[in-house]
Structure 1
Amino acid sequence: MTPVRVGVFGLLGSGNLGNDGSLDAVLRYLRAAHPTAVVDALCGGPEAVTARFGIPATRLHWYRGEYRTASRAGAVAGKALGKLVDAVRTAAWVRRHDLVIVPGMGVLEATLPLRPWGFPYSLFLLCASGRLLRTPVALVGVGADAIAERPTRVLVRWSARLAAYRSYRDGLSRDAMRAMGVDTTGDAVHPDLAFALPAPPPGAPPGPVCVGVMDFHGGNDDRARAGEIHRRYVEGTTRFVRALAEEGRRVRLLTGDAGDAGVVAAIIDAVDSPLVTAAGATSLTELMAETAAAEAVVATRYHNLVCALRTGTPTLALSYAAKSDALMETMGLGAYRHPAREVDAGRLLDRFRELEEHAAEVRRVLAARNGAAARRLDAHFAALSSSLFPAPSPVPTSRKAR
């Protein structure tokens, strides 16, 4: 039989560890369940995806300056032309496949600053091309949230409607799409795809305290006060890290995106202690190794939280969106949260000490929840195969006899 041609799509290889971790989980599933499938990608960082995952990859945007601010007439014209060229390029890429998968990621949300003509437009082109060319587009384990900005909301809603298959990483996401007018009757909910990645063994105690930081400026609706939110977040997190270092605790700073490096540098410079170091993780697998070796984790980025919870490490969320709250509730740690928009070092320390006091109980809860997550993901992947990779029809007996 002709191998199934599978495309994967998204902001992959662009420096976001969570996005690439979702791709890693889907590729592991495809290689185990459908080893003859031929896979390639249309993505943000094709060179990085090919180098790491060994699959051919094509650049998502024709115009290379897509995500740079266009201040000159030439750049504006380039972006405008790129939108037209990308419509043709996306359709041509979709046509070459039997199936396209969007692996996880928050593709149906705007919890961080987002412009409608950026990725939401690209996703719409993909889903519209899939519908027109009769190539199923599957949104697998994606994140969604209510979107206030009308143009972005319209593009996201129609992308979801045009997709042939949808599943979500939490019930919050499915509820958000239903509220935006999408029929979610047959849509599944399962744990984040990163929970399918293997967890490394725990490190030898005593480990450091891992603090996952983020270049956080608020959400899409916070643009007017983005600078203030960023300043308060960095100052509050810095005070928390300094307090731990003054107690003689080792602190390991984690990131989840290339853009977080500036926050790490600012904290290290401000605290000025040899006890505070930065991890250089370049994948969720490496990030999980860091959290597995930690005594406890305090983290902001969603997939920093996922990695810490997946390794069973006591975790406190610096929560910046409802998805973080939903994840902590699902994993039984809803009491251990602190708002990222209003980081108060004193209150954060109090909550952190409470987490450490109950560390043994927290580890037991996480072990049970991780087992349940693994079983649910196994069931989801099996259902995904049944839906998108139907078994070939058996050859009639009479034909075999000939």
Structure 2
Amino acid sequence: MGVRRGSRRASEPQKGVAPQSTTIMFFGNFGTQNLGNECTLQAIIQNARRFLPGATVSCVCTDPLATSAAHGIPAFRISRRYGEGVTAGSGRRHRNPVSRLIRRLVVRLPREVGEWVTAFRTLKGTRMLVMTGTGMLGDFGIGPFDLHYEILKWAILARVRGSKLLFVSVGAGPIAHPLSRWIVKAALSLADYRSYRDEFSRRYLESIGFNSSQDRVCPDLAFSLATSEILPSPDARRNGNGRVVGLGLMEYYGQRRSPEEGERIYQRYVERVAGFAAWLLEHGYTVRLLVGDLSYDKRVKADVRTLLEDKGWGRDTERIIDEPISSAEELYAQLARTDMVVATRFHNVLLALMLNRPVIALSYHEKMRSLMAGMGLAQYCQDAALLDVPGLIAQFTRLERNAETLSASMKRKAEEYRAALDEQYGRIFGDLVRADRLAATADGGEVTPIGTQAGSTRRARNGAGWSGGR
């Protein structure tokens, strides 16, 4: 990963003192049981509170009730239309085109005006709206008027409200629909600060005509999770049944062009993953089944278990660990109880790397290859759609043999990423404190600055500001 600046580990920052009225609002597809998204939100909330203890944080998301319950913050719906769009849209797809047009003009347009008014009111008093990590700037499985339209709407309203608008360590691409490309570029052009979680995202935006040359590349926000949240207890990996391999599963249908093609890809993936799991069991390893999305990964876990039963590994075997996961914290705990990990979901791979577990990634997107290459593990990556079991076994054997050396380099790189994110937090949250300091000075008061002395010096030397320059 081409991290720009901040490559050294920063010391703990002095905390800024933000006025109680300071409100930072995070935006994203949260509350949908995707554990990767949830750990991303958890990471930025932790760091906002670390850098700005007096600030109020809130969230605009897909499911406010679930988000408030999980993270203990006020949360608001992105829009009723977006939250209900998936189920409602399927019932209208086959309407007569004329009736669809009439419905949009008579029913949906007034509702949408109401949604804009609601969003405008929600942003009252918000000093900073943060488009929060995740792969929000890709359009697989969504249309132009889904998430990307909502991003543009909230971006426009943030600027109208006078709020700072930030895109922080977001993932971008691919974006297939021309209108989606235009919407994404329009939203990005309104931002005060932009950074991308990998060089692929920045270059992809360049390729579709957006000038990202002065934007930053900074690691995925999950690398900044508090270590107390993810570090295992000393006895976390003890197991009397051989070394434990975490097998991260995903309900994977590829870049399908039809449901039938997607199902064929899925069945091939499941059969090959189960074949690899059987090899592990036959060679004395214990297999821990892991998921990363509580809404979408139930089927794949059940199907892998069924195929393993067909191969003679019944549900009574002690060497298949299949424990429920209901939160990001439980995912961390289960990953901590592995020795090595082979996973498909992006954040299963990333969190394993943070825990210093040697990993093989079954890649379905360029973000996986970028992540693994950045950690020095490019040779331990396979295309999930073309999964080769003998090749995977060879990779696994090589990974195990080199685990000690790789673990040392992975630890160094994770520390480098954490330092880069510390520098970014100091940059983005420091702007609020600098503004408050100027206001307080004018009033004869004082506001404590945030950030490390080294970080502040580096930012001054680099002329850092809201332009997001490299």
- Give the alignment's TM-score, normalised by structure 2: 0.79
1:264 and 2:301 are equivalent in the alignment: yes
1:225 and 2:261 are equivalent in the alignment: yes
Q: Report how far residue 367 of structure 1 moved.
A: 1.3
Encode CA deviations 1:308-343: one digit per residue, 9 max, x unaligned.
100110100001111100000111111101110111
1 CA distance for matches of 2:256 and 2:220? 23
Q: Report how far residue 346 of structure 1 moved.
A: 1.9
Count, aligned residues: 399
1:215 and 2:251 are equivalent in the alignment: yes
Q: Please point out which of 112, 120, 144 is paired with 1:91.
A: 120
2 CA distance for matches of 1:132 and 1:371? 39
Aligned to 1:393: 438
2 CA distance for matches of 1:189 and 1:114? 25
Q: Report how far residue 245 of structure 1 moved.
A: 2.0
1:131 and 2:131 are equivalent in the alignment: no
1:52 and 2:70 are equivalent in the alignment: yes
For the structure 1 residues 175 and 243, does the alpha-carbon distance in structure 2 shift closer, same or farther, using more than 3 Å as the test?
same
Contact preservation (8 Å) 1:312, 1:363: yes
- Give the alignment's TM-score, normalised by structure 1: 0.91
Aligned to 1:379: 423
Q: Structure 1 stretch 301-310 or stretch 190-199: which is displaced more?
A: 190-199
Q: Report how far residue 134 of structure 1 moved.
A: 2.4
1:150 and 2:211 are equivalent in the alignment: no
Q: Structure 1 stretch 278-287 or stretch 333-342: which is displaced more?
A: 278-287
Name which structure has the greater RCO, CA cutoff 8 Å, separation 6+: 2
Question: Residues 342-353 of structure 1 correspond to what in structure 2 (within 5 A)?
Answer: 342-353=386-397
Q: Which runs of 5+ in 1 are unaligned?
A: none
Encode CA deviations 1:4-62: one digit per residue, 9 max, x unaligned.
11111111111111111111111111111111111222211211111121111122231
Q: Percent identity?
A: 30
Question: Residues 1-400 of structure 1 correspond to what in structure 2 (within 5 A)?
Answer: 1=19, 3-63=21-81, 65-68=84-87, 70-73=89-92, 80=108, 83-110=112-139, 112-197=140-225, 198=227, 199-201=230-232, 203-205=236-238, 206-219=242-255, 225-258=261-294, 259-272=296-309, 273=313, 274=317, 275-390=319-434, 391-393=436-438
Q: Which amino acid in structure 2 is aligned with residue 13 of structure 1?
A: G
Superposition RMSD on alpha carbons, in Å? 2.5
Q: Structure 1 stretch 212-221 or stretch 231-240: which is displaced more?
A: 212-221
For the structure 1 residues 276 and 387, does the alpha-carbon distance in structure 2 shift closer, same or farther, using more than 3 Å as the test?
same
2 CA distance for matches of 1:38 and 1:396? 23
SS of 2:57 mapped into structure 1: strand
Encode CA deviations 1:331-372: one digit per residue, 9 max, x unaligned.
111110111011122221121111111111111111111121
Contact preservation (8 Å) 1:67, 1:118: no
Contact preservation (8 Å) 1:292, 1:312: no
Q: Report how far residue 298 of structure 1 moved.
A: 0.4
Q: Which amino acid in structure 1 is aligned with residue 64 of structure 2?
A: P
1 CA distance for matches of 2:90 and 2:429? 46
SS of 2:379 mapped into structure 1: coil
Q: Which amino acid in structure 2 is aligned with residue 335 of structure 1?
A: Q
2 CA distance for matches of 1:292 and 1:161? 41
SS of 2:437 mapped into structure 1: coil
Q: Report how far residue 398 of structure 1 moved.
A: 10
Contact preservation (8 Å) 2:155, 2:187: yes
Q: Report how far residue 222 of structure 1 moved.
A: 7.6
Contact preservation (8 Å) 1:318, 1:338: yes
1 CA distance for matches of 2:112 and 2:253? 27
2 CA distance for matches of 1:280 and 1:36? 37
Encode CA deviations 1:245-298: one digit per residue, 9 max, x unaligned.
232321111111121111011101111232323243334333232222211100
Contact preservation (8 Å) 1:317, 1:338: yes
SS of 1:392 mapped into structure 2: helix
Q: Structure 1 stretch 305-314 or stretch 121-130: which is displaced more?
A: 121-130
Q: Which runs of 5+ in 2 are unaligned?
A: 1-18, 446-470
Contact preservation (8 Å) 1:284, 1:307: no
Q: Which amino acid in structure 1 is aligned with residue 437 of structure 2?
A: P
For the structure 1 residues 238 and 398, does the alpha-carbon distance in structure 2 shift closer, same or farther, using more than 3 Å as the test?
closer
